[in-house]
Structure formats: C-alpha cells, structure tokens
C-alpha cells in the first residue's frame, strides 16, 4: 500500500475529537508537509538550475496533473503573470479531464494514459520546454502518459510525487519526492500531500523567476499591475527601492507604464525612461547590473 493511502495510526478516533482538538490535529499534521519539502530542497534546486537555461532560451513551463495535483499546477501557472509578468502563453497547464475538471471531478479522466500523451503532443514541445508532472501517488496514468510523450519531445521533465520510488519521479529527468506519509484522514491527499505540492511548486517557480532577474533584492519588481491593488504596489515597491517620495515615483512610473524595474533604474541612475529600458535590455532585465553600469 502506498504511504499516502496507509491509514494514519495517530488519530484513529478522529471523529470523536472535540472541535478545538480536531482543528489542532488537522493543522499540526500540515507541519509534515513543510518538512517533506525541506528534505527535497536539493532536488528542487537542481530542477531550477536545469530549467533556467531552457527558459532563458525561450522555453515554456508546462504543468500536468489530475485532480488536486492538476488544480495546484493550474494555480501556480496562472499566478506567474501578475506576480512576475510571465506571459500566459509560456505557462501552460494540463489537467486530466480538461478545463472543466478545475471545478467538477471528471470520472475516469486520470486513468487515461493515452489522453495524457495526446495533450502533450498537441503542444509541440521542444528541448527548451520544461514539463512539471505532479501526482500524489506518483503513478497517475494520465500523468505518466504525458511524461512519456514529454520525454520523447526532448523537453526537460520534472516529476513530483508523495511516495518514494514512484514511476513519475523514477522516470522523469529530475524526480522530487515529497514524502508526506499517511494522511490524518486516510487517503485524502488534498491535505498535507497537496500542501507539500503547493509549497514545492511555489518554491520552484519563484526560485526560477528570481534567477530570471524578476526580483531585485527581495522585491517583485516585474509585477504586472492588473488591478488597483497591484497598481498601488508598484508605487510602494518603487518608493522602497529608491527611497524617493510617492510623487516622484508615481511620475516616473506613469512614463513607463508602471514598470517597476524601469522606474527604479531611471530614478536611481538619473536617466530617462528610454535609457533605463535600454540598460535593462542590455543586461537581460537585471536591475542590479543596470544600476552598477552607471552607478
């Protein structure tokens, strides 16, 4: 029996717990998710380093999963645009059963190995693409079909599973095992197995974006202001990075379509927005190098 399916021996009378004890037990068990991801940190780092040159060469991130794992992949992918201005067409999510499976369980979809392969082949992957294959069991047929097709295309494959020695981690170029063990509600991998996947995907994608110079210090300077909240954030980020007042920062931001990177370089180097844009282009979007070029 898979670790994730093994009945938990610590809470065999969970249904009798007082509400406060029930909530505490459910929360405390989530701590194991953090520990599982921490143990996999070297493999996650290796995946970031392997993905970086491919993404720099124009590759795409492709998330593949079924059920909770598939939904977590979709979530990680769609958040890259507002957070890092990552183009939607370079963050693609495949979930067994199609888009409708985000909201309603599609019976039998995860068991279709061939559909996983078909969905991948339709993307016409190449050696620059990076495919993230997520499965708590590590043996979901849809995901394994996608894995086989992705490997045949020459794309980098990274497998995430919550059971040791799982097919998806064993057969991928880089395997990341998040060994969360048995669930407090036996077999419900939407609990700490899902939490560990969320942390691992956040770590991978955020780490990759840092390496792509979409962060300056620890500021998300490539934010896409798609709403009023994020528009305000561009101002506060620019103020924090430059030490200048709101009026100064807002004026420059308005000149560069609220692109924080450009505003920082223009203000700090005391150059025009056009010059700041050229500096950033020359240094592949690296704010620190663009500042050092003149400073």
* Chain-centre distance for alpha carbon 242: 29
Euclidean distance between CA atoms 141 and 12, whole angstroms: 31
Which residue is catalytic, options 79, 107, 183, 255? 79
79 is catalytic: yes
Helices (H), the chain: 19-39, 41-56, 67-78, 80-84, 113-121, 141-153, 167-171, 192-211, 228-242, 246-255, 260-269, 273-282, 287-294
- How many residues are recorded in the chain? 295
Residue in 260, 259, 265 with CA at minimum distance from that of residue 278 = 265
Contact 218, 40 (CB under 8 A): no
Euclidean distance between CA atoms 183 and 78, whole angstroms: 28
Contact 29, 192 (CB under 8 A): yes
> Angle 206-229-203 (CA atoms, 0-180°, nearest 5)?
10
110 is catalytic: yes
Which residue is catalytic, options 110, 183, 254, 255? 110
DSSP state letter for 13 = T
Q: Which residues are catalytic?
A: 79, 110
């Amino acid at each position: 029996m898979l670790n994730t399916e093994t009945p938990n021996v610590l809470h065999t009378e969970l249904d009798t717990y007082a509400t406060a004890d029930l909530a505490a037990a459910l929360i405390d068990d989530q701590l194991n998710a953090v520990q599982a991801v921490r143990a996999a940190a070297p493999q996650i780092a290796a995946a970031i380093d392997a993905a970086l040159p491919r993404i720099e060469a124009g590759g795409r991130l492709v998330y593949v999963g079924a059920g909770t794992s598939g939904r977590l992949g979709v979530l990680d992918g769609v958040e890259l645009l507002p957070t890092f201005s990552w183009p939607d067409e370079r963050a693609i999510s495949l979930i067994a059963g199609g888009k409708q499976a985000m909201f309603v369980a599609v019976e039998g979809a995860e068991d279709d190995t061939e559909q996983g392969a078909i969905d991948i082949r339709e993307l016409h992957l190449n050696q620059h693409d990076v495919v993230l294959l997520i499965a708590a069991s590590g043996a979901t047929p849809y995901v394994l079909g996608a894995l086989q097709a992705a490997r045949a295309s020459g794309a980098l494959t990274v497998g995430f599973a919550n059971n040791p020695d799982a097919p998806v981690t064993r057969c991928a170029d880089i395997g990341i095992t998040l060994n969360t063990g048995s669930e407090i509600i036996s077999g419900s991998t939407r609990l700490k197995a899902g939490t560990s996947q969320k942390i691992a995907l956040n770590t991978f994608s955020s780490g990759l974006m840092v390496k792509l110079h979409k962060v300056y210090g620890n500021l998300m300077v490539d934010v896409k202001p798609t709403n009023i909240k994020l528009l305000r954030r561009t101002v506060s980020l620019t103020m924090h990075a430059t030490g200048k007042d709101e009026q100064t920062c807002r004026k420059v931001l308005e000149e560069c379509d609220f692109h924080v990177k450009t505003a920082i370089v223009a203000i700090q180097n005391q150059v025009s927005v056009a010059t700041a844009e050229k500096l950033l282009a020359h240094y592949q979007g690296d704010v620190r190098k663009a500042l050092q070029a003149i400073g």
